[in-house]
Amino acid sequence: MSRALLEALGLFLTPFALYVALLIFRARHPLIAASWSRGALSWLTLAGLALAIGGLVYAGMSGSEQGAYTPAHVENGRLVPGHFQ
């Protein structure tokens, strides 16, 4: 579960990282607040949310069709390892 959240966070932060790269390319300092306009922040946030939601939807729809997990158990005195059915 934490992997999915970290991937979504990475997708959300991608537009901001690209904007920082653009600011550096234009010889502007990305840590100065004047470099970040309010309009740019709005678009970056919307783009980040779209990427994160799209990534979560894609991960949910492309998941494996293995079925339910059966944990390890004992049958007739023998240990049967866990598996997907």
Task: Please tell me the predicted confidence (pLDDT) of residue 48.
Answer: 95
Go through 16-40 and write b for each residue having 16 or more CB atoms within 10 A of its CB, e for each that does not: beebbeebeeeeeeeeeeeebeeee
Task: Please tell me the predicted confidence (pLDDT) of residue 44.
Answer: 93
Task: Please tell me the predicted confidence (pLDDT) of residue 46.
Answer: 96
Task: Please tell me the predicted confidence (pLDDT) of residue 50.
Answer: 96
Residue spans of alpha helices (H) in 1-85: 2-25, 38-61
